[in-house]
Amino acid sequence: MKNYQTDQIRNIALVGNSGSGKTIMAESMLQIGGVINRKGDIASKNTVSDYRPIEQENGNSLFSTVLYTEIANTKINILDNPGMDDFIGSLVSSLYAADTALMLINAQNGVEVGTEIQGRYVEKAEKPMIIAINHLDHEKTNFEKAVEMVKETFGGNAVLAQFPVNAGTGFNAIIDVITNKMYTLKGNDVEISDIPAEHADQAEEVKTQLIEKAAEADESLMELFFENDTLTEEEMMRGIAAGLPLRGIFPIFCTNARNDLGVKRLMEFIAQVTPSPDKFAPVKDLEGKEIKCDSSAKPSLFVFKTSVEEHIGEICYFKVLSGTLTESIDMYNSKNNTKERLSSLFVCAGKNRVKVDKMFAGDIGATVKLKSTKTCHTLVSPGQDWEAQGINWPNPKYRIAVKALSEGDEEKLGEALNRMKDEDPTIIVEYSKELKQLLVQGQGEYHLNIMKWHLDNQFKIPTEFLKPRIQYRETITKVAFADYRHKKQSGGAGQFGEVHMIMEPYTEGMPDPTMYKIDGKEFKISVRGKDEYNLDWGGKLVYYNCIVGGSIEARFLPAILKGIMEKLEVGPLTGSYARDIRVCIVDGKMHPVDSNEISFKLAGRNAFSKAFKNAGPKIMEPIYNVEILVPGDRMGDVMSDLQGRRAIVMGMSSEKGFEKIMARVPLAEMSNYSTALRSNTAGRAMYEMSFFEYQQVPPDVQEQLLKEYEAEQEED
């Protein structure tokens, strides 16, 4: 394969709702470019993109796939992405490496929620976008409606560059107003001819709108437009090329990828008009310094994706940020300070890899057998020590507890999960000491079910998913007094320790105590010592030494604190962490022989538990902000479901043809929300969630939690 210079490279992210035809579009582009001889199809499980067994089993894309094709002395790198929101992490990483997004729209459905979701990520990444309305040969095609929805969603910058002659079951011709030609499918070939007279008026109208939008991209072109009331074809092309990188124009093309109609013309447009990588804003390092896409600079690359392939091992997919890579080049990993050698360089078309001897700035490739390099790592030239700004991954939306069916597999399970996390950073794995569960978070139930498939089938670790426990918090609402005597005699030296304590809720900035009145009895407080502890799980413990007269020696006070800390980690109500409590040790007793640290630790722990239960204890639960994007005709079902989840709706608004619901929902009620939302909206809605705060649970919920914890303790 020839080596392509930076100005001969185009990097395209193939995006769109599931079912828009991205996989077949990629097949068509690869066949036209001569990379493959024959197109595969999804039903036959032989496409270049969906080559993984799990994708073939499920019949849709689950991972991004790195591809390439060639046309007009230009290499087009294609990053084909899944259309489902559960796998949005693939799109996010692809948009980091790609320079332009190619958004496919299913002509039957127009803009779907997946279109909107992915469009928002493209906008956030500030990438140019080309729109292709695909599946124009379907009997339910509605081109006009699809275009209307596109303009409602993406605004006035979306403008036709083509229109179909006869959309529907007989679809076989496209009119392109940039080239002023008609493209007609005849057999397996596409014939190019002049625009017929009966379509000339429509073509002129569409072209005028395109020229107006192209003129807006450049002041000099705008002046020419006002002066001549039109632009030449060369001027129009210059305006489109100027407007694309600024997201000032989203040209709309027409395709039927299944029959290759319109695909070659789309590829020609990408090669001729979309900018090369060096024409975009440079990547910045962590200090804000720009890394120019220059092949003459020192070599550097960014790994945007890793995967493990059978018989090969780990493959690192990268974008060359600067310089020229050559085989066996030595690089330095600035993330973990290790040396790496790129023994081989490949360009990829799915699982097929072609070896190359060099790659220039802006290109996308792959390498194998790196020792310590993972997704989001930067490799630089020896002597350099900078790191590129990384990928901002989306917050998780679904969590589950996972357990190996065999105790002997627990270590293997941890290793497998960490390996999958390296491949897909939207998977978050943690062992919760508090909940005593191995928790996995992801983008949805389907996302984590695919992860489980790999555990069961690829890693051969039988596992089960369990409902994750909730990270409740325990605290108090009023002042309480308690004492506890720990006494134990067993023939030799005994154990004795007695602790009297007062407990109250802590709030920031409250003054030190001077007096308490509890159950009609007054306690005068003389503070001898004060310690404040910021708890790892949030909140505070404030610990006062208020001992008068030496009833407990100072050497035993740390032991009492240790007992309290132990009880804070396993709260008296549900075993959850306790927080925001102020404790005064006001009195106690000790024995000259039998008192020791363990005695006062146990006395302190039990006095704390006793006081806690008398201090108006309450359970706090995590509340999450949830933002749901839903079609208007499904609002009733979604709202009804939220009401059953103790949700508080904070507001509603309309956003680009969809309704947005903002609500606050207890995490305990969100365990199966991903599945329920998909069921209630036929997969047409999406949501995001983020932690808001802890709030007190309702009395009936608290009572139920107490009963459940009590039953668990009895079982143990």
Coil vs helix vs strand at 503: strand
Integer Cα distance of 356 and 654 in angstroms: 50
Average pLDDT over residues 664-683: 88
The predicted structure's pLDDT at residue 146: 95
pLDDT in tens, 76-89: 999 999 998 889 99
pLDDT in tens, 377-419: 999 999 999 999 999 999 898 899 999 999 899 999 999 999 9
- Decide if 213 contacts 159 (C-beta within 8 A): yes
Nearest to 405 by CA among 442, 445, 459, 450: 459
pLDDT in tens, 600-653: 999 999 999 999 999 999 999 999 999 998 888 889 999 999 999 999 999 999
Integer Cα distance of 187 and 167 in angstroms: 17
Integer Cα distance of 163 and 155 in angstroms: 18
Residue 27 has pLDDT above 90, yes or no: yes
The predicted structure's pLDDT at residue 461: 95
The predicted structure's pLDDT at residue 657: 66
pLDDT band at 596 (very low <50, low <70, confident <90, very high): very high
Average pLDDT over residues 99-127: 93
The predicted structure's pLDDT at residue 556: 94
Integer Cα distance of 10 and 327 in angstroms: 22
The predicted structure's pLDDT at residue 114: 85
Coil vs helix vs strand at 49: coil
Coil vs helix vs strand at 19: coil
Q: For the purposes of burial, counting CB atoms within 10 Å of the CB of 408, is it exposed (0-12), middle (13-18) or buried (19 or more)?
A: exposed
- Decide if 341 contacts 326 (C-beta within 8 A): no
pTM: 0.85
Residue 493 has pLDDT above 80, yes or no: no
Residue 491 has pLDDT above 70, yes or no: no
The predicted structure's pLDDT at residue 12: 98
- Decide if 643 contacts 688 (C-beta within 8 A): no
Percent of the chain at pLDDT > 70 equals 99
pLDDT in tens, 327-385: 999 999 999 999 999 999 999 999 899 999 999 999 999 999 999 999 999 999 999 99
CB count within 10 Å of CB 102 equals: 26
Phi, psi of 452 (to 5 degrees): -65, -35
- Decide if 604 contacts 598 (C-beta within 8 A): no
Residue 716 has pLDDT above 80, yes or no: no
pLDDT in tens, 134-189: 999 998 999 999 999 999 899 999 999 999 999 988 899 999 999 999 999 998 89
Phi, psi of 231 (to 5 degrees): -130, 150
Phi, psi of 288 (to 5 degrees): 90, 5
E-only strand ranges, 362-494: 364-368, 378-380, 398-404, 428-432, 437-442, 463-466, 473-475, 480-488
Nearest to 84 by CA among 22, 128, 160: 22
Strand partners, 93: none
- Decide if 86 contacts 447 (C-beta within 8 A): yes
Give whole-number Cα distances, 270 to 33, 128, 251, in Å. 13, 12, 11
Helix, strand, coil percentages (3-state) for the chain, rounded to 5, are 30, 35, 35
Of residues 492 and 679, which shows the higher confidence score?
679
Name the DSSP letter for residue 371.
S
pLDDT in tens, 547-572: 988 899 999 999 999 999 999 999 88
Residue 656 has pLDDT above 70, yes or no: no
The predicted structure's pLDDT at residue 294: 96
The predicted structure's pLDDT at residue 144: 95
Give whole-number Cα distances, 407 to 132, 411, 429, in Å. 52, 9, 18
Of residues 388 and 678, which shows the higher confidence score?
388
Integer Cα distance of 421 and 400 in angstroms: 15
Integer Cα distance of 443 and 425 in angstroms: 11
pLDDT in tens, 271-298: 999 999 999 999 999 999 999 999 999 9
pLDDT in tens, 418-428: 999 989 999 99
Residue 497 has pLDDT above 70, yes or no: yes
Integer Cα distance of 576 and 243 in angstroms: 56
Integer Cα distance of 32 and 22 in angstroms: 15
Strands 300-309 and 648-655: unpaired
Taken in order of first residue, the domains within the chain and their CATH numbers are 8-214+249-279 (3.40.50.300), 283-380 (2.40.30.10), 398-469 (3.30.70.870), 477-616 (3.30.230.10), 620-701 (3.30.70.240)
Strands 313-322 and 577-578: unpaired
Structure tokens at 242: 């100027």
